[in-house]
């Protein structure tokens, strides 16, 4: 099935108000163009240099989301144009984003990535650490960062009860943090190709779907 048909099939499963981030990482610009032609405007990438190269050759009304682990020294590649950084997982990264946003005279939308999965290899804030950091008022030091919400990845398992538990933990964190950030705090990004229907049931407002749209990743890019 073509990318266009696949993306339309995924859209048909989404509730009203749930944004689709088409995860185009490792896929060629031709596949992104095909999704673009059927109206998709939000795409997710995980490598800053790859994201920058795609930005340079694709239509400028695309909203690019950085969804992978972001090293502080790579923020400079995407700060001038990125629509949202979903993977903010440390104070050091906040400092780097603030610094680059100042240089670009931008306020950059960000999500706070929380670690809820069983795998230690997954990135993200430990919940208690993030809760304390937010309560300290530390984000007032980053006027060029607009915290829009929370992002997380569920455990890699076929146990739907465990997946649901992870998503419910993210939803609870989202609700607890919301008063600290106000009305702009409106995005709960959780759910990928294998588990996004469960994520939507648990309150996700944004799903990151790649393989269902583009097929297996093209690691040769």
- Structural domain of 194: 3-214
Q: How many CB atoms lie within 10 A of CB 67?
A: 26
29-32-35 Cα angle (round to 5): 155
Residues in Cβ contact with 148 at an 8 Å cutoff, skipping those fewer than 6 apart: 84, 109, 110, 111, 184, 185, 186, 187
From CA 163, how far away is CA 190, in angstroms rounded?
A: 11
From CA 17, how far away is CA 208, in angstroms rounded?
A: 14
From CA 31, how far away is CA 81, in angstroms rounded?
A: 21
Residue carrying the six token digits 């008022």: 137
Residue 221 inside a domain? The answer is no
- What predicted TM-score, i.e. pTM, was given to this entire model? 0.96
In tens, the pLDDT along 98-136 reads: 999 999 999 999 999 999 998 877 789 999 999 999 999
Residue 84 inside a domain? The answer is yes
Q: Are 65 and 83 in contact (CB under 8 A)?
A: yes
Decide: helix, strand or coil at residue 59.
Answer: coil
Residue 219 inside a domain? The answer is no
Question: What's the domain count of the chain?
Answer: 1
In tens, the pLDDT along 200-213 reads: 999 999 999 999 99
In tens, the pLDDT along 149-188 reads: 999 999 999 999 999 999 999 999 999 999 999 999 999 9
The CATH number linked to 63 is 3.20.20.10
């Amino acid at each position: 099935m073509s990318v266009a048909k696949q993306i339309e099939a995924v859209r048909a499963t989404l509730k009203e108000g749930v944004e689709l981030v088409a995860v185009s990482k490792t896929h060629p610009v031709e596949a992104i163009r095909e999704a673009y032609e059927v109206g998709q405007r939000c795409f997710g990438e995980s490598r800053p240099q790859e994201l920058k190269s795609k930005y340079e050759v694709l239509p400028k009304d695309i909203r690019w989301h950085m969804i992978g682990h972001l090293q502080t020294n790579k923020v400079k590649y995407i700060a001038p144009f990125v629509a949202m950084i979903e993977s903010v997982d440390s104070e050091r990264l906040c400092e780097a984003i603030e610094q680059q946003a100042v240089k670009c005279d931008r306020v950059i939308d960000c999500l706070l990535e929380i670690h809820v999965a069983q795998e230690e290899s997954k990135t993200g804030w430990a919940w208690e650490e993030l809760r304390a950091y937010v309560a300290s008022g530390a984000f007032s030091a980053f006027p060029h960062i607009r915290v829009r919400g929370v992002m997380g990845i569920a455990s890699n398992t076929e146990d739907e009860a465990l997946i649901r538990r992870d998503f419910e933990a993210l939803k609870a964190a989202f609700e607890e943090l919301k008063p600290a950030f106000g009305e702009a705090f409106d995005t709960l990004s959780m759910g990928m190709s294998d588990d996004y229907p469960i994520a939507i049931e648990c309150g996700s407002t944004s799903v990151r779907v790649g393989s269902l749209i583009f097929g297996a990743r093209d690691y040769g890019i």
